[in-house]
Amino acid sequence: MPGIIDRLSKRLKAYRTPGYYKKYDYHWTMVVDLDKCNGCAACVVACHAENNLPTVGKDECGKSRAFNWIRIERYVEGEYPDVKVKFIPIMCQHCDKARCELGCPVYATYHNQDGLNVQVYNRCVGTYTCATYCPYDVRRFNWFTYKWDEPLDQQLNPDVSVREMGVMEKCTFCIQRIRVAKDKAKDEEREIKDGDVQPACVQSCPTGAMVFGDLNDPNSSVSKLAKSRRTYRLLEKYNTEPSVIYLKRVMDGSSKGHEERHHV
């Protein structure tokens, strides 16, 4: 009996140890350089097109039920002549210690071996717990059975499911693209190379503010960027260990950017 308990506790401890996922092949990570972000929202549109997100219309948007997996948060600072507007794109942070995974009673959201925080739409019963526990408010709920306006219903992505009413959903880091890249790499009997896979938002970013890759690979561009002195993670002190790394915006003449406020 003590042997079993020892074995179990060792195993549980291993799951909880940071770096557990390193023994798997990939640790998908995104780096967002806020110095390059100009708030154009191309990523938002690309995400809508890639992931079959519904367009909810004026009324629902007015109730602030806009349906985005990635949003550009705008913060305006200062009085009129001296105004500063700052942008920060926020999507699911794919936390290694995700609060949402703790809350879901049915394992509709769980951590996969690539360090991704995965949502199983078919398993979701709609208790809202994941979104309530999420400190970043990135989860979106299907309030109704959404319909697509005329030409848009012809462009649904066949690789992504259309979600039914009553389930929660969120950014997946375009897991369908990761799957394809993995399959291809497996056929060619190699690992995924840096740059093989890009989520829609990264692909569409005109300034190249977003970079996606594998943090386990020391030569990948995200690994190099992650060594920057400007890095921080959103709400870091809550110990959620997000997989999205932000590079702080360098402001002229002021060291108190809003990014810094967040991460304090």
The minimum distance between CB 187 and another protein, in angstroms, equals 28
Instruction: Confirm or reject binding of residue 133 to another protein (CB under 8 A).
Output: yes
Q: In the chain, what's the furthest Cα-to-Cα distance?
A: 72
Closest residue by Cα to residue 97 from 264, 239, 233: 239
Single-letter residue type at 222: V
Q: Which of 10, 16, 23, 63 binds another protein (CB under 8 A)?
A: 63
Query: Residue 124 is encoded by which pair of tokens?
Result: 């979701």
Nearer to another protein, 126 or 206 (CB): 126
Distance CA 150, CA 114 (A): 37
Q: Which of 36, 77, 103, 157 binds another protein (CB under 8 A)?
A: 103
The minimum distance between CB 55 and another protein, in angstroms, equals 15
Q: Which of 20, 75, 148, 232 binds another protein (CB under 8 A)?
A: 75
Instruction: Confirm or reject binding of residue 91 to another protein (CB under 8 A).
Output: no
Using only the alpha carbons of the chain, give its radius of gyration. Answer: 19
Query: Residue 118 is encoded by which pair of tokens?
Result: 């995965």
Q: Of residues 209-248, which lie at the interface with another protein (CB under 8 A)?
A: 235, 238
**Is 246 in a helix, a strand, or coil?**
strand
Instruction: Confirm or reject binding of residue 24 to another protein (CB under 8 A).
Output: no
Q: Of residues 135-174, which lie at the interface with another protein (CB under 8 A)?
A: 135-137, 139-145, 165-168
Instruction: Confirm or reject binding of residue 126 to another protein (CB under 8 A).
Output: yes
Query: Residue 244 is encoded by which pair of tokens?
Result: 């999205």
The minimum distance between CB 194 and another protein, in angstroms, equals 31
Strands 140-141 and 244-247: what pairing? unpaired
Name 116's Cβ contacts closer than 8 Å, sequence gap at least 6.
28, 94, 172, 173, 175, 178, 243
- Residues that bind another protein in the complex, under the rule CB under 8 A: 60, 63-65, 71, 73-75, 90, 99, 101-107, 123-129, 131-133, 135-137, 139-145, 165-168, 235, 238, 262
